[in-house]
Each structure stands twice: as C-alpha cells, then as structure tokens.
C-alpha cells in the first residue's frame, strides 16, 4: 500500500476526536492491532477475533447462561459483560464483540420478538402492511437500550482490546420481521420488496434509523468499532441489492461516519455484492470462505480492510487440518496490512474451544509482523 | 457464436445414435427447442421448464399425492408418470423432469433413508466410518430402480417434449448421508472430507457410481437429457470444491458422455464455482439468481448453455413484477441461443401455478425467435 493511499483511506477513521470525548477508549487503543488493521495501517501482529466468539461453544458460557431466551441474559449487564469477556480471556483475541443480538432493538421498542432456542428469532405478529410501520417507533437508546449501554460501560473499564458494537442491517432485520422466523427462501420478504417498493423503503428507513441509533449509542458508551450485520443480503441478486438495500446501508454508514471509528459490513454469500458492500461506506468488509481474500480484495477495489475468512466448519476438523487452512488464508492475504483474521460466519456451537485458541496463537505467530509501516 | 465453435461444441451431443437405439425419443425430439438450446443451436423459441415443476405447488398434485413419504409415491410408476405430466399439460413447458428424488438410489440399495414432510431427507444411521462404505453397494438399476425405469417408459410414450433424467451429485448426497438430515453448515461433512480424505474419496466414488448408474438407466429407458444436481456444492470454497468434488463430477460426466444427450449441472450459490461446473464436462450449467446470465456466461467460458435464472421467490410477487424480471433475464441473455429459461432453484410450494403458466407464455412470446440458425 502506498503511503498516499494509506493516508487517504485512514483520514476519516483517524478523526476519532471529533465525536468522541477524550476519555473514549478508542484513543487509548488507537494503536491496537485490530484498530490499526481496520485503518489499513500495518499492525504489530495480524489481529484475530471470531464472529459469535461469545456463546454456546464455551463451557464457561453454558454454565453461566440462564434457561430460556437469550434476550433475558442480554438484559442483564453484569452477565452480558462477563459473557463478552469470556472469549477474550480464553483465546486472547484482539477484539471483543458485545454479547447481544440483532433483534434486541426490535424487542426494545416492543415489536414482539423472541429468540427461540434451536429456532432463532420468532416474531409474534409478522410485518405485513403499512399499519405495521406504526409498531416500529424510533428507539431511544438511553431509555430503551439502557441495559446495552450499561454492558458497554462495564466492558470498556475492563477490556484492554477494542470493543465492537453492532446492529443488524435493515434487510436482515426485515427478513425476520416479514417472514416471522428464519427462512431459507425469503419469499415473503422479496414479494413485499418487489410488489410494494414504497412500503419496503419506508420499512427499511425505520430499520436503518434503528441500526444507526443502536450502534451510535454503543460507540458513544465506549465501543471502538462497529459492525453492521447484513447476514442474509447474499440471498438477493445484485440488482435487487442495489435497488432495495444499498441506499439504506449507505445512509447508515454515512450517518455513523462522523463517529470516526472503523465500520465493518458483513454478510454471507456476498461474492457478487462485495463492491457494493464497500461502496456503501464500510471501511472493513467481512467475507465468507466462498471467495479467496485476493479475489475479494480485487472486487472491493483494494481500499477497504478485509475481515475473514476461515470456514467455521473447518474448525470441526483436527488441528493439522485447521492449521493448514489458517496458513492458506494468511498466504492469500499476502501480507496486506488491511486484514483482520476471522471466520467467514459465526462459531458453530459444537466447536472445540481449544481449536479456536490455537487458531489465535497461530495467526499471532505466523501472520507477518510489523515492518514499522 | 461462430459456426466453428458451434460445431465443436455440439459434436459429442450430436452422436445420439451411438449409445441409444433408433427408437430412442431423443431422435424424434432432436429439434425440440429444449434440445436445440442445450446444444447451443438456435431453437424455434426460448425453451423453458421449472426445477420442481412437478409437485407441491400444483393442486392436481396435492389431490393425487398419498399421505406419508414421497418415496412411496415415487415407487408407483403410473402415479409418478402422471405427476410428471401434470406441469407439462398445465404450463406447456418445453421439457419434463422425472418426478423422483435424489435419495431414491440410496433408498433402493437399502441405506435407510426417508423423506420426512417438512424436513427433507433423514438417514437412519448416518455415514461415519470406513465400515459404512459396505452399506453403499452398487445399484443394479434394472432390479433396484425398476420402478423408475417403468415410470420413464410410460412417460416417453406419452410426452411430446424431452424428458430429463437426473441424479444427485456425490457431494450433495454425501451431505445428507453424513449429516443425517438437511444442514445449513455441513460441519460433519466438511470435517470428514478434510480429516479423512481417503475415506471421503472412497465415499464419493461409490456415490458417483450410483449417480452414473441411475442416470444411465433413465436415459437408456428413454430420457433425452440428464441433470446432475449438486445443489449444496456452493457451500464449499473453490479450493475444496476443486480438490474434493470436481474429480468425481468430472468422472460422472465422462462416463455419461457416450450417451450423447445434453448434460446439465446445477447448484445454488455456485458463482465462484461456475468455471469448474463447466470444466467438469457439463454441456448445460444451471445458475441461480445471484449472478446475471452475462457474467455467468463469461465465467463458464461461453461454451456451455446456461439454464436459469429467475429467483423462485420472485414468483410469489404479482404478475407485473414477475413479468419485468422475466424480461430482464431475456435481456441479460441478449439473444444467445444457448439459454434454457428456468428458475434459479426449485418452485416454492406456495407459488401460484398461474404465475408459472404466464412465465412460460411470456418467454415463448418474447424470447427471440429462430433466425434459421
């Protein structure tokens, strides 16, 4: 990366002082490997964290977790902070991600959603008509998401790595609202989108507001980076994505940009959407294992940091196999400073935590060390 | 398409006489729109059929179908032939596809599989170790699949469009055998593949034999084209596909090639695998809606016919919306003769059959007419 390019790209990210007070942890952690890599500056080691690193694969999580909905667990700041810390302690990852769920803001405004074990998000009364827009009032984070902010505040006092705040992106949230539960086909969602674009865009507007407000409150409370999860956007054709989703993602990143923290954007199966994932304004693009890092870098124009892309299913294999795959990803990346090692999707519940510990160790050992930039 | 290219490509397909007797329906139907398009020759109209056109979306199917497993229905040749005919009568599609299921050969050799309504294929004792290979004996189609051959024979007497025979591809079959049921992550399958490549390849070998024998018997009984369904291969990285799947698909097409009928190869989410889907030896590559036809043509090298690619979820929308999408696909194809209009995956059960009827009508009306080649 030429110095010119690096400077141009990191400019908006470097302005952490503008929106965030001098005590915000992002200042203290500005040279942490994760934040440096997010800005495309060479980190002291290749940073690594795992999507869904906090959760079911950890025995210490299973012993803490209450019965019933995870939304009850998330509502307890002390407990959520502890769960967020668990993988940081165990694995030595370079970032923490808030233990929460993308439906939390929907629950907070009373839309009527639960996360059913073994199923996923289930909506009492799915979104169908114009009238349902009234059920999507603006979120007031200091009131509605006070428990989330409290969790963030506990965490930033304890963590010595950056905390990533996050929200679900409008399409992925809409897919749950409209289908009423996880779907493989998104038939109702797409039918609404195509047949009633006016209502669709109004729905997406409300959900984008929710994403912005929720993420902003997490960053203001102390998160040093953010990630927008559009996990299921890969179900769309590039044209539908461009018309029905991209404008809303672009607005979200545009409104969050003044916070001056790295902004990651992730979805699975997004090979054909990657240029738009970057174009939306993200500074970090998360990819799955279906596309090699070098090809993803080509499609994103080389100006964003890439995050990924070990297949979570590979982590169910034996260590020599996993190690080979980890090394291949480092090779694919070819020493580019803008790489955050991660999985291509969330940790599978049946994963042996020791495998993940060794992945972190290997990435730290064998990823290219700093050359002083 | 230059004449030279066209001749080179259609050469193996034109030799229908070599393996198939003079009474085989493929001779009588040689200039049908579907078979011409499959060979890259300009058809009299753009041919169209729908994956899963026979089945749950049709009221006449629901009134015929027995309670319980569809495998019982498939075991009845008269009934299966009737179900295969239903969409041909109703829609006027340019090809019929045998009403069957990719697990039928597995059931036939006694592996212990059922198709559970609302779930999908479920395996009594999933494949785990070397010893399980013994449970995958070679299929003897004239004995084990006599009911399937009987269905084909009934059909070819009645049909005036080509019948497509099919089988599941080894990876997709293996994913059911190893997981024991439909999976979203293919964790166990991938772990077996990566940790025990020797056993994996022996498993794939047996499944490839099953695919070849099953498809060959359908073609010999009267099917004029074949399709290999590797529906879930898109879950693999390009490298894993190349190492663990491609050699087996290549062998299948190699062994089926002497039959001289068009050979289609389909999977969902295969954008990064398309060149290998063609390279495996298919003469027709089916694509989903995630990639536009022109880009798919570029990736497959322009030498194969493309089949697709309307999003089945679009068919849940209103007719004007569907019509717009159909026209776009015809535009994307830009008059290329090597195009078979289809969905990008199977018909969704909740689809209104009248929408599909109108899709056929529109494609036939507005697809470019023959220019005499």
| pLDDT, mean of each 10-residue run, chain A (373 residues) | 39 54 95 98 97 94 85 95 98 98 97 92 97 97 98 97 98 98 95 97 98 98 98 97 98 98 98 98 98 97 96 97 97 96 97 98 86 41
Domain residue extents for chain B: 3-366
Query: What's the average model confidence in pLDDT over B98-116?
Result: 96
B/e letters for B128-165, b = 16+ CB within 10 Å, e = fewer, are: eeeebeeebeebebeebbebbbbbbebbbeebebbbbb
Scanning every residue of chain B, which has its alpha carbon at the shortest distance from the alpha carbon of A325?
A: B194
Angle, helices A319-333/B187-195, rounded to nearest 10 degrees? 90
- Note whether B195 contacts A313, CB cutoff 8 Å: no
Predicted TM-score of the model (pTM): 0.93
- Note whether A321 contacts B290, CB cutoff 8 Å: no
Which stretches of chain B sit within 8 Å of chain A by CB? 185-191, 194-195, 234, 236-239, 269, 271-272, 289-292, 295, 311-314, 316-318, 321, 325, 328, 348, 350
B91 labelled catalytic: no
Q: What is the pLDDT of residue A69?
A: 86
Q: What is the pLDDT of residue A308?
A: 97
Option in B271, B290, B313 nearest A185 (CB): B313
How many H helices and E strands in chain A?
19, 9
Query: What's the average model confidence in pLDDT over B110-123?
Result: 93
For the residues of B23-55, what is the DSSP string, one character each?
A: T-HHHHTTTSHHHHHHTTPPPSS--B--TT-SS
Query: Chains A and B: how many Cβ contacts under 8 Å?
Result: 90
Residue B8 neighbours by CB distance under 10 Å: 12
> What would the CATH number be for the domain defined by B3-366?
3.20.20.210
A101 labelled catalytic: yes
Examine the pLDDT at B19 and tell me if it is beyond 90.
no
What secondary structure letter does DSSP report for A310? E
Q: Which residues contact A2 (CB under 8 A, 6 or more apart)?
A: none
- Note whether B312 contacts A194, CB cutoff 8 Å: no
Closest CA to B276 of B231, B238, B304: B238
A176 labelled catalytic: yes
Option in B190, B195, B291 nearest A311 (CB): B190
For B191-210, the pLDDT digits (tens) are 999 999 999 999 999 999 99
Nearest chain A Cα distance for residue B277, angstroms: 15
Q: What is the pLDDT of residue B118?
A: 85
Q: Reduced to 3 states, what is the DSSP secondary structure of residue A264?
A: strand
B52 labelled catalytic: yes
Q: What is the pLDDT of residue A337?
A: 97
For B207-234, the pLDDT digits (tens) are 999 999 999 999 999 999 999 999 999 9
Catalytic-role residue among A14, A65, A250, A357? A65
CB A60 within 8 A of CB A82: no
Examine the pLDDT at B15 and tell me if it is beyond 80.
no
In angstroms, the CA A244 to CA A176 distance is: 16
CATH class of A40-366: alpha beta
For A199-237, the pLDDT digits (tens) are 999 999 999 999 999 999 999 999 999 999 999 999 999
- Note whether A290 contacts B186, CB cutoff 8 Å: no
- Note whether A195 contacts B269, CB cutoff 8 Å: no
In angstroms, the CA B283 to CA B289 distance is: 20
Residue A18 neighbours by CB distance under 10 Å: 10
Angle, CA A103 vertex, CA A102 and CA A109 arms, to 5°: 130
Closest CA to B159 of B214, B82, B226, B102: B82
Q: What is the pLDDT of residue A3?
A: 37
Residue spans of alpha helices (H) in chain A = 3-14, 16-19, 25-28, 33-38, 59-64, 70-74, 77-91, 104-108, 141-144, 146-158, 170-179, 187-195, 197-221, 238-244, 246-256, 274-279, 293-299, 319-333, 353-366
- Note whether B321 contacts A190, CB cutoff 8 Å: no
B194, B197, B268, B274, best to mutate vs chain A, most A CBs in 10 Å: B194
CB A225 within 8 A of CB A35: yes
Examine the pLDDT at B334 and tell me if it is beyond 70.
yes
Q: What is the pLDDT of residue A369?
A: 61
């Amino acid at each position: 990366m030429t110095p010119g390019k690096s400077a141009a790209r990191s400019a908006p990210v470097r302005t952490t002082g503008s929106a965030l007070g001098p005590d915000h942890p992002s200042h203290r952690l500005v040279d942490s490997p994760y934040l440096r890599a997010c800005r495309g500056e060479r980190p002291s080691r290749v940073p690594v964290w795992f999507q869904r690193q906090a959760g079911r694969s950890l025995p210490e999580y299973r012993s803490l977790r209450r019965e019933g909905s995870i939304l009850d667990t998330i509502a307890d700041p002390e407990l959520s902070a502890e769960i967020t810390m668990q993988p940081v302690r165990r694995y030595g990852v370079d970032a923490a991600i808030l233990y929460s769920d993308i439906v939390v803001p929907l629950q907070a405004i009373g839309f009527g959603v639960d996360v059913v074990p073994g199923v996923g998000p289930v909506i009492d009364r799915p979104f169908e008509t114009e009238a349902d827009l009234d059920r999507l009032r603006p979120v007031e984070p200091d009131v509605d998401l006070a428990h989330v902010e409290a969790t963030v505040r506990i965490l930033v006092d304890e963590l010595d790595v950056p905390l990533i705040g996050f929200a679900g992106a409008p399409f992925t949230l809409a897919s749950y609202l409209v289908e009423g539960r996880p779907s493989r086909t998104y038939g109702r969602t797409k039918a609404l989108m195509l047949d009633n674009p006016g209502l669709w865009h109004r729905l997406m507007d409300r959900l984008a507001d929710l994403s912005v407000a929720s993420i902003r409150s997490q960053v203001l409370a102390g998160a040093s980076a953010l990630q927008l999860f559009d996990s299921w956007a890969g179900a769309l054709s590039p044209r539908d994505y461009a018309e029905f989703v991209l404008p809303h993602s672009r607005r979200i990143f545009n409104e969050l940009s003044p916070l001056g923290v790295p902004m990651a954007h992730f979805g699975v199966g997004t090979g054909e959407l990657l240029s738009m994932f970057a174009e939306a304004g993200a500074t970090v693009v998360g990819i799955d294992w279906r596309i090699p890092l070098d090809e993803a870098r080509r499609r994103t124009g080389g100006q964003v940091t890439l995050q990924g892309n070990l297949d979570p299913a590979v982590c169910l294999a034996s260590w020599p196999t996993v190690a080979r795959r980890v090394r291949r990803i480092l090779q694919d990346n070819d020493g580019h400073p803008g790489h955050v090692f991660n999985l291509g999707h969330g940790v599978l519940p049946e994963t042996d935590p020791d495998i993940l510990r060794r992945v972190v160790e290997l990435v730290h050992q064998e990823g290219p060390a700093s050359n002083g930039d």
